[in-house]
Chain A
Amino acid sequence: MLNGWIDIHKDRCKGCGLCVAACPKGVIALAEDQVNAHGYHPARLEDPEGECTGCAICAVACPDVCITVYRMPKRVEADAPAVAASA
Protein backbone atom coordinates (compact mmCIF):
# COMPACT_ATOMS: atom_id res chain seq x y z
CA MET A 1 0.00 0.00 0.00
CA LEU A 2 1.40 3.33 -1.04
CA ASN A 3 1.27 5.74 1.91
CA GLY A 4 3.51 8.54 0.80
CA TRP A 5 4.85 10.11 -2.34
CA ILE A 6 7.08 13.08 -3.14
CA ASP A 7 7.33 15.34 -6.16
CA ILE A 8 10.80 16.83 -6.66
CA HIS A 9 10.92 19.93 -8.85
CA LYS A 10 13.71 18.59 -11.03
CA ASP A 11 14.87 21.82 -12.60
CA ARG A 12 15.10 23.50 -9.21
CA CYS A 13 17.00 20.64 -7.56
CA LYS A 14 20.75 21.26 -7.30
CA GLY A 15 21.65 17.66 -6.60
CA CYS A 16 23.18 18.44 -3.20
CA GLY A 17 22.11 15.05 -1.86
CA LEU A 18 20.97 16.26 1.58
CA CYS A 19 17.56 14.62 1.05
CA VAL A 20 19.29 11.38 -0.01
CA ALA A 21 21.28 11.42 3.26
CA ALA A 22 18.22 12.36 5.35
CA CYS A 23 15.63 9.88 4.00
CA PRO A 24 15.04 7.26 6.74
CA LYS A 25 13.81 4.71 4.18
CA GLY A 26 16.63 5.30 1.70
CA VAL A 27 14.23 5.66 -1.24
CA ILE A 28 15.67 8.88 -2.70
CA ALA A 29 18.65 8.80 -5.06
CA LEU A 30 20.40 11.20 -7.41
CA ALA A 31 19.45 10.48 -11.03
CA GLU A 32 22.88 9.81 -12.53
CA ASP A 33 21.27 9.27 -15.95
CA GLN A 34 19.57 12.69 -16.02
CA VAL A 35 20.84 16.25 -16.19
CA ASN A 36 18.54 19.18 -15.41
CA ALA A 37 18.46 22.70 -16.83
CA HIS A 38 21.24 23.84 -14.46
CA GLY A 39 23.47 20.87 -15.21
CA TYR A 40 22.90 18.97 -11.96
CA HIS A 41 21.84 15.38 -11.45
CA PRO A 42 18.48 15.90 -9.75
CA ALA A 43 17.20 13.78 -6.87
CA ARG A 44 14.32 11.42 -7.55
CA LEU A 45 12.11 9.01 -5.66
CA GLU A 46 13.14 5.40 -6.32
CA ASP A 47 10.53 3.53 -4.38
CA PRO A 48 9.38 0.33 -6.16
CA GLU A 49 8.23 -1.23 -2.85
CA GLY A 50 6.11 1.78 -1.83
CA GLU A 51 8.14 2.35 1.34
CA CYS A 52 7.77 6.15 1.38
CA THR A 53 5.64 7.14 4.37
CA GLY A 54 5.32 10.83 3.50
CA CYS A 55 7.24 11.80 6.66
CA ALA A 56 8.55 14.97 4.93
CA ILE A 57 12.04 14.64 6.44
CA CYS A 58 13.48 15.08 2.91
CA ALA A 59 11.54 18.31 2.47
CA VAL A 60 12.77 19.64 5.82
CA ALA A 61 16.36 18.92 4.79
CA CYS A 62 16.02 20.39 1.26
CA PRO A 63 17.71 23.81 0.93
CA ASP A 64 15.98 24.56 -2.37
CA VAL A 65 12.38 23.97 -1.26
CA CYS A 66 11.79 21.79 -4.30
CA ILE A 67 10.08 18.82 -2.61
CA THR A 68 6.31 18.59 -2.26
CA VAL A 69 5.20 15.75 0.02
CA TYR A 70 1.94 13.85 -0.35
CA ARG A 71 0.45 11.37 2.10
CA MET A 72 -2.62 9.17 2.14
CA PRO A 73 -5.25 10.61 4.47
CA LYS A 74 -5.70 8.66 7.72
CA ARG A 75 -9.29 7.70 6.86
CA VAL A 76 -8.18 5.89 3.70
CA GLU A 77 -5.32 4.20 5.56
CA ALA A 78 -7.87 2.65 7.92
CA ASP A 79 -9.70 1.13 4.93
CA ALA A 80 -6.53 -0.12 3.33
CA PRO A 81 -6.08 -3.45 5.24
CA ALA A 82 -9.59 -4.57 4.23
CA VAL A 83 -8.82 -3.88 0.58
CA ALA A 84 -5.54 -5.75 0.85
CA ALA A 85 -7.23 -8.75 2.53
CA SER A 86 -9.89 -9.09 -0.17
CA ALA A 87 -7.36 -8.80 -2.97
Chain B
Amino acid sequence: MATTLTEEQTPPIDAMEVVYQRPEALTDVPTHYCPGCGHGIAHRMVGEVIDELGIRTQTIGVAPVGCAVFAYNYFNMDFIEAAHGRAPATATGIKRVFPDRIVFTYQGDGDLAAIGTAEIVHAAMRGEKITVVFINNAIYGMTGGQMAPTTLPGMKTTSSPSGRDVEATGQPARMSELLATLPGAAYIVRRSLHNVREIRKARKAILTAFKVQQAGLGLSMVELLSSCPTNWGMTPSDAMKWVEENMVPVYPLGDYKVVDAVRDL
Protein backbone atom coordinates (compact mmCIF):
# COMPACT_ATOMS: atom_id res chain seq x y z
CA MET B 1 0.00 0.00 0.00
CA ALA B 2 1.48 3.33 -1.02
CA THR B 3 1.13 6.13 1.50
CA THR B 4 2.36 9.66 1.26
CA LEU B 5 4.49 10.88 4.12
CA THR B 6 2.02 13.44 5.40
CA GLU B 7 -1.03 11.19 5.33
CA GLU B 8 -2.47 10.49 8.76
CA GLN B 9 -2.84 6.79 9.26
CA THR B 10 -5.52 4.92 11.13
CA PRO B 11 -5.01 1.62 12.94
CA PRO B 12 -5.63 -1.58 10.97
CA ILE B 13 -8.37 -2.67 13.41
CA ASP B 14 -11.13 -0.15 14.19
CA ALA B 15 -11.65 -1.49 17.73
CA MET B 16 -8.19 -0.32 18.77
CA GLU B 17 -8.20 2.42 21.37
CA VAL B 18 -5.77 5.28 21.67
CA VAL B 19 -3.60 4.70 24.75
CA TYR B 20 -1.06 7.46 24.18
CA GLN B 21 -1.31 10.70 22.24
CA ARG B 22 -0.10 14.26 22.19
CA PRO B 23 -1.25 16.15 25.32
CA GLU B 24 -3.67 19.03 24.87
CA ALA B 25 -1.26 21.32 26.75
CA LEU B 26 1.18 21.21 23.81
CA THR B 27 0.47 23.05 20.58
CA ASP B 28 0.37 20.99 17.40
CA VAL B 29 3.57 22.33 15.85
CA PRO B 30 7.00 20.81 15.26
CA THR B 31 9.73 21.99 17.65
CA HIS B 32 13.01 23.60 16.55
CA TYR B 33 15.04 21.32 18.82
CA CYS B 34 17.78 19.10 17.38
CA PRO B 35 17.01 15.40 16.86
CA GLY B 36 17.13 13.54 20.18
CA CYS B 37 17.10 16.66 22.37
CA GLY B 38 15.75 16.14 25.90
CA HIS B 39 13.77 19.38 25.79
CA GLY B 40 11.03 17.67 23.78
CA ILE B 41 10.69 14.95 26.41
CA ALA B 42 10.56 17.52 29.21
CA HIS B 43 7.99 19.63 27.35
CA ARG B 44 5.79 16.60 26.87
CA MET B 45 5.99 15.60 30.53
CA VAL B 46 5.08 19.10 31.71
CA GLY B 47 2.19 19.12 29.22
CA GLU B 48 0.93 15.74 30.41
CA VAL B 49 1.09 16.75 34.06
CA ILE B 50 -0.82 19.99 33.38
CA ASP B 51 -3.49 18.01 31.50
CA GLU B 52 -3.66 15.43 34.29
CA LEU B 53 -4.21 18.11 36.92
CA GLY B 54 -6.71 19.91 34.64
CA ILE B 55 -5.01 23.27 35.18
CA ARG B 56 -4.18 24.28 31.60
CA THR B 57 -6.38 27.38 31.58
CA GLN B 58 -5.10 28.54 35.01
CA THR B 59 -1.43 28.03 34.24
CA ILE B 60 1.04 30.72 33.26
CA GLY B 61 4.50 29.67 32.11
CA VAL B 62 7.69 31.68 31.97
CA ALA B 63 10.13 30.88 29.17
CA PRO B 64 13.90 31.24 29.53
CA VAL B 65 16.67 32.34 27.21
CA GLY B 66 18.57 29.43 25.72
CA CYS B 67 17.47 26.58 23.48
CA ALA B 68 14.04 26.61 25.14
CA VAL B 69 13.52 30.30 24.31
CA PHE B 70 10.63 29.38 21.99
CA ALA B 71 8.86 27.30 24.65
CA TYR B 72 5.99 29.78 24.45
CA ASN B 73 5.26 28.48 20.95
CA TYR B 74 5.02 24.89 22.14
CA PHE B 75 2.92 25.14 25.29
CA ASN B 76 -0.78 25.66 24.68
CA MET B 77 -1.29 28.16 27.52
CA ASP B 78 -0.36 31.66 28.61
CA PHE B 79 3.38 32.24 28.49
CA ILE B 80 5.75 35.11 29.16
CA GLU B 81 9.31 35.40 27.90
CA ALA B 82 11.69 36.54 30.64
CA ALA B 83 15.03 38.29 30.32
CA HIS B 84 17.98 35.92 30.49
CA GLY B 85 18.00 34.17 33.87
CA ARG B 86 15.19 36.30 35.29
CA ALA B 87 12.38 33.77 34.91
CA PRO B 88 12.02 33.21 38.71
CA ALA B 89 11.75 36.99 39.24
CA THR B 90 9.12 37.30 36.49
CA ALA B 91 7.26 34.31 37.91
CA THR B 92 7.37 35.90 41.37
CA GLY B 93 5.59 38.97 40.01
CA ILE B 94 2.95 36.92 38.21
CA LYS B 95 2.29 34.69 41.21
CA ARG B 96 1.94 37.63 43.58
CA VAL B 97 -0.50 39.43 41.27
CA PHE B 98 -2.45 36.21 40.50
CA PRO B 99 -1.99 33.99 43.57
CA ASP B 100 -4.72 31.62 42.35
CA ARG B 101 -2.86 30.77 39.13
CA ILE B 102 -0.28 28.06 38.68
CA VAL B 103 3.02 29.65 37.64
CA PHE B 104 6.01 27.70 36.42
CA THR B 105 9.36 28.53 34.88
CA TYR B 106 11.16 26.33 32.39
CA GLN B 107 14.91 26.99 32.45
CA GLY B 108 18.14 25.54 31.18
CA ASP B 109 21.45 25.40 33.01
CA GLY B 110 22.88 28.47 31.27
CA ASP B 111 19.79 30.38 32.36
CA LEU B 112 19.29 29.05 35.90
CA ALA B 113 22.80 28.08 36.99
CA ALA B 114 24.81 30.86 35.34
CA ILE B 115 23.32 34.27 34.62
CA GLY B 116 20.20 33.62 36.71
CA THR B 117 21.75 32.13 39.84
CA ALA B 118 20.81 35.14 41.97
CA GLU B 119 17.18 35.04 40.86
CA ILE B 120 16.61 31.35 41.62
CA VAL B 121 18.48 31.54 44.93
CA HIS B 122 16.49 34.55 46.10
CA ALA B 123 13.20 33.11 44.86
CA ALA B 124 13.96 30.03 46.98
CA MET B 125 15.01 32.19 49.95
CA ARG B 126 11.70 34.05 49.78
CA GLY B 127 9.85 30.76 49.44
CA GLU B 128 8.02 31.85 46.30
CA LYS B 129 5.17 29.45 45.55
CA ILE B 130 6.27 28.71 42.00
CA THR B 131 7.43 25.58 40.20
CA VAL B 132 10.75 25.43 38.36
CA VAL B 133 11.60 22.88 35.68
CA PHE B 134 15.37 22.94 35.33
CA ILE B 135 17.04 21.22 32.37
CA ASN B 136 20.71 20.46 33.01
CA ASN B 137 22.72 19.27 30.01
CA ALA B 138 26.13 20.53 31.21
CA ILE B 139 26.70 22.85 28.25
CA TYR B 140 25.50 26.08 26.61
CA GLY B 141 23.47 24.60 23.76
CA MET B 142 22.05 27.54 21.84
CA THR B 143 25.26 29.57 21.56
CA GLY B 144 27.33 26.69 20.21
CA GLY B 145 28.44 24.39 23.01
CA GLN B 146 30.51 26.58 25.33
CA MET B 147 31.46 25.59 28.87
CA ALA B 148 28.72 26.18 31.45
CA PRO B 149 29.00 26.23 35.27
CA THR B 150 27.48 22.75 35.10
CA THR B 151 30.09 21.34 32.68
CA LEU B 152 31.74 18.20 34.07
CA PRO B 153 35.44 18.23 35.10
CA GLY B 154 37.56 17.42 32.06
CA MET B 155 34.63 17.74 29.65
CA LYS B 156 35.57 19.18 26.26
CA THR B 157 33.52 22.10 24.97
CA THR B 158 34.18 24.78 22.36
CA SER B 159 35.49 27.11 25.10
CA SER B 160 37.38 24.38 26.99
CA PRO B 161 38.93 22.45 24.08
CA SER B 162 41.32 20.51 26.31
CA GLY B 163 38.66 19.75 28.92
CA ARG B 164 37.31 21.75 31.87
CA ASP B 165 40.17 22.67 34.19
CA VAL B 166 38.75 22.67 37.72
CA GLU B 167 41.78 24.61 39.03
CA ALA B 168 40.90 27.58 36.83
CA THR B 169 37.11 27.29 36.51
CA GLY B 170 35.95 25.45 39.62
CA GLN B 171 33.73 22.45 40.13
CA PRO B 172 30.31 21.85 38.52
CA ALA B 173 27.42 23.82 40.02
CA ARG B 174 25.12 21.43 41.87
CA MET B 175 22.00 23.59 42.02
CA SER B 176 19.66 21.08 43.66
CA GLU B 177 22.05 20.58 46.58
CA LEU B 178 22.50 24.35 46.87
CA LEU B 179 18.80 25.21 46.83
CA ALA B 180 17.92 22.37 49.21
CA THR B 181 19.74 24.25 51.97
CA LEU B 182 17.31 27.18 51.76
CA PRO B 183 14.31 27.16 54.10
CA GLY B 184 11.87 28.52 51.49
CA ALA B 185 12.29 25.53 49.20
CA ALA B 186 9.68 22.80 49.72
CA TYR B 187 10.47 20.24 47.07
CA ILE B 188 13.87 19.95 45.36
CA VAL B 189 14.63 16.75 43.44
CA ARG B 190 16.92 15.63 40.63
CA ARG B 191 15.81 13.17 37.95
CA SER B 192 17.21 12.10 34.58
CA LEU B 193 15.88 11.53 31.06
CA HIS B 194 18.34 8.85 29.98
CA ASN B 195 15.88 5.96 29.74
CA VAL B 196 12.15 5.30 29.88
CA ARG B 197 12.17 4.21 33.52
CA GLU B 198 13.89 7.44 34.57
CA ILE B 199 11.58 9.49 32.34
CA ARG B 200 8.57 8.00 34.16
CA LYS B 201 10.14 8.85 37.54
CA ALA B 202 10.77 12.39 36.28
CA ARG B 203 7.15 12.76 35.23
CA LYS B 204 6.01 11.72 38.70
CA ALA B 205 8.35 14.30 40.24
CA ILE B 206 6.98 17.06 38.00
CA LEU B 207 3.45 16.07 39.02
CA THR B 208 4.43 16.33 42.69
CA ALA B 209 6.14 19.68 42.07
CA PHE B 210 2.93 21.17 40.65
CA LYS B 211 0.91 19.73 43.55
CA VAL B 212 3.35 21.37 45.97
CA GLN B 213 2.57 24.71 44.36
CA GLN B 214 -1.18 24.04 44.50
CA ALA B 215 -0.82 23.34 48.22
CA GLY B 216 1.21 26.55 48.63
CA LEU B 217 4.10 24.85 50.42
CA GLY B 218 6.93 26.87 48.87
CA LEU B 219 9.28 26.70 45.90
CA SER B 220 9.35 23.40 44.03
CA MET B 221 12.05 22.50 41.53
CA VAL B 222 12.72 19.42 39.42
CA GLU B 223 16.21 19.25 37.93
CA LEU B 224 16.33 17.02 34.85
CA LEU B 225 19.61 15.65 33.52
CA SER B 226 19.33 15.88 29.76
CA SER B 227 21.46 15.42 26.68
CA CYS B 228 22.84 17.70 23.96
CA PRO B 229 23.73 15.34 21.10
CA THR B 230 24.66 18.17 18.72
CA ASN B 231 27.17 19.96 20.96
CA TRP B 232 28.47 16.80 22.58
CA GLY B 233 29.08 15.39 19.08
CA MET B 234 27.23 12.12 19.67
CA THR B 235 24.24 10.24 18.31
CA PRO B 236 21.09 10.73 20.42
CA SER B 237 21.29 7.17 21.82
CA ASP B 238 24.99 7.53 22.69
CA ALA B 239 24.27 10.88 24.33
CA MET B 240 21.65 9.27 26.58
CA LYS B 241 24.20 6.60 27.55
CA TRP B 242 26.71 9.37 28.25
CA VAL B 243 24.21 11.02 30.61
CA GLU B 244 23.87 7.76 32.52
CA GLU B 245 27.58 6.97 32.65
CA ASN B 246 29.10 10.42 33.15
CA MET B 247 26.51 12.90 34.39
CA VAL B 248 24.67 10.77 36.94
CA PRO B 249 27.85 10.11 39.03
CA VAL B 250 28.54 13.86 39.21
CA TYR B 251 24.88 14.83 39.68
CA PRO B 252 23.43 12.04 41.84
CA LEU B 253 19.71 11.47 41.31
CA GLY B 254 17.47 11.76 44.33
CA ASP B 255 15.29 13.87 46.58
CA TYR B 256 17.28 16.73 48.05
CA LYS B 257 14.51 18.40 49.97
CA VAL B 258 11.00 17.15 50.56
CA VAL B 259 9.15 18.87 53.39
CA ASP B 260 6.91 16.63 55.48
CA ALA B 261 3.71 18.15 54.09
CA VAL B 262 4.62 16.90 50.58
CA ARG B 263 4.17 13.29 51.68
CA ASP B 264 0.50 13.98 52.43
CA LEU B 265 -0.24 15.29 48.91
- Residues of A whose CB lies within 8 Å of any CB of B are 2, 5, 7, 9-12, 14-18, 21-22, 34, 36-38, 40, 42, 54, 56-57, 59-65, 67-73, 76
Task: Tell me how far the C-beta of B41 lies from the nearest C-beta in chain A, rounded to whole angstroms.
Answer: 5
Q: List residues of chain A with CB within 8 A of the CB of B240.
A: 18, 21
A30 to chain B, nearest CB (A): 11
Q: Which of B19, B26, B36, B235 contacts A71 (CB 8 A)?
A: B19
A54 CB contacts on chain B under 8 angstroms: 16, 19
User: Do B6 and A37 touch across chains, with their CB atoms under 8 A apart?
Assistant: yes
Q: Which of B1-47 contact A (CB under 8 A)?
A: 5-6, 8-13, 15-23, 26, 30-31, 33-41, 43-44
Known: A68-B22, A69-B19. A14 touches B5 (CB 8 A): no
Contact B237 A21 (CB under 8 A): yes
CB pair B5–A42 under 8 Å, yes or no, is: yes
By the criterion CB–CB under 8 Å, are B35 and A68 in contact? no
User: Interface on chain B toward A: helix, strand, loop, or mixed SS?
Assistant: loop
Q: Are A71 and B16 in contact (CB under 8 A)?
A: yes
Q: Is B199 part of the contact surface with A, judged by Cβ < 8 Å?
A: yes
Knowing A10-B5, A37-B5, A68-B20, the reply to whether A63 touches B199 (Cβ < 8 A) is no
> What B residues does A59 contact at CB under 8 A?
20
Point out the residues of chain A lying under 8 angstroms from B11, CB to CB. Answer: 5, 7, 70
Cα A71 to Cα B13 with chains together (Å) = 10
- What are 14 A-B contacts defined by CB distance under 8 Å? A2-B12, A11-B5, A14-B34, A17-B236, A56-B20, A61-B195, A64-B40, A65-B22, A65-B43, A68-B18, A70-B19, A71-B16, A72-B16, A76-B15
Taking a contact as CB atoms under 8 Å apart, the answer to whether B6 and A18 are in contact is: no
Known: A11-B6, A68-B21, A70-B11. A63 touches B26 (CB 8 A): no
Cα-based distance from A14 to B41 in the complex (angstroms): 13
Assess whether B235 is in contact with A17, with CB atoms less than 8 Å apart.
yes
Is B168 in contact with chain A by the CB < 8 A criterion?
Answer: no
Find chain A residues with CB under 8 A from B195 CB.
Answer: 22, 61
Is B204 engaged at the interface, CB distance under 8 Å to the other chain? no
Q: Which residues of the other chain, B, contact A10 by a CB distance below 8 angstroms?
A: 5-6
